[in-house]
Chains A and B, each alone.
Chain A
Amino acid sequence: MSENATPRKALLEVDDVTIRFGGLTALDSVSFDIKEGEILGLIGPNGAGKTTCFNVMTGVYQATSGHVRFDGTVLRKLKRHKITKLGMARTFQNIRLFKSMTVLDNVMVGADAHSKVSFFDALFRTPRHRRTEAEALARAKDLLKIVGITARHDELAANLSYGDQRRLEIARAMATGPKLLCLDEPAAGFNPAEKQRLMQLIRRVRDEGYTVLLIEHDMRLVMGVTDRIVVLEFGKKIAEGTPAEIRDNPAVIAAYLGVDEDDAS
Chain B
Amino acid sequence: MMAGMGSISARWDRVVDRYNAQPKIVKILWVTLLLVIAYAMPLLRPPIITTNSIDFGTVMFRVIAFALVALGLNIVIGYAGLLDLGYVGFYAVGAYTTAVLTVEHGSWPFFLALPLAIVVTMISGVILGAPTLRVRGDYLAIVTLGFGEIIRISVNNIEWVGAAAGIKNIPHPTGIGAKPEPPFKQGGLFEIPRLEWNGLVPSFDTEHKSAFLAFGSRDAVPYYWLILTVLILVLIGDRLVKASRVGRAWEATREDEDAAELMGVPTFKYKLMAFALGASIGGLSGSFYASSQAGYINPQSFPLLLSMLFVAAVIVGGSGNRWGAIAGGALVAYLPERFRDFADYRLLVFGLALTVLAVWRPEGLLPPRQTRRAKAAEAEIDALEEGDLEETPNV
Contact B240 A122 (CB under 8 A): yes
CB distance from B369 to the nearest CB of A (A): 10
B258 on the A face (CB < 8 A): yes
Contact of B264 among A112, A121, A158 (CB under 8 A): A112
- Can you list 10 pairs linking A and B with CB atoms under 8 Å apart? A80-B261, A84-B263, A89-B263, A98-B260, A101-B248, A102-B370, A108-B245, A112-B248, A112-B249, A122-B246
B77 on the A face (CB < 8 A): no
A119 to B252, CA, bound (A): 16
- Tell me whether A101 and B251 are in contact in the complex, defined as CB-CB below 8 angstroms, given that A81-B264, A112-B264, A119-B246 are known contacts: yes
Contacting A at CB under 8 A, from B240-265, are 240-241, 244-249, 251-252, 255-256, 258-265
A-B pairs with CB below 8 Å: how many? Answer: 106
- Give the chain B neighbours of A122 by CB distance below 8 A: 240-241, 244-247
Contacting B at CB under 8 A, from A98-134, are 98-102, 105, 108-110, 112-115, 117, 119, 121-123, 125, 129, 132-133
A103 to B390, CA, bound (A): 32
Contact of B245 among A102, A112, A156 (CB under 8 A): A112
Contacting B at CB under 8 A, from A142-200, are 156, 158-159, 172-173, 176
Residue among A97, A114, A156 with most chain B CB within 10 A: A156
> What does DSSP make chain B's interface, helix, strand, loop or mixed?
helix
CB distance from B264 to the nearest CB of A (A): 3
A221 on the B face (CB < 8 A): no
A89 to B259, CA, bound (A): 11
A90 to B273, CA, bound (A): 26
Contact A98 B252 (CB under 8 A): yes
The chain A residue sitting closest to B380, CB to CB, is A159
The total of chain A residues at the interface (CB under 8 A) is: 40
A84 to B267, CA, bound (A): 13
- Tell me whether A105 and B251 are in contact in the complex, defined as CB-CB below 8 angstroms, given that A80-B261, A122-B244, A176-B264 are known contacts: yes
- Give the chain A neighbours of B273 by CB distance below 8 A: 119
Contact A158 B261 (CB under 8 A): no
A61 on the B face (CB < 8 A): no
CB distance from B311 to the nearest CB of A (A): 21
Contacting B at CB under 8 A, from A188-232, are none
CB distance from A27 to the nearest CB of B (A): 21
B6 on the A face (CB < 8 A): no
B395 on the A face (CB < 8 A): no
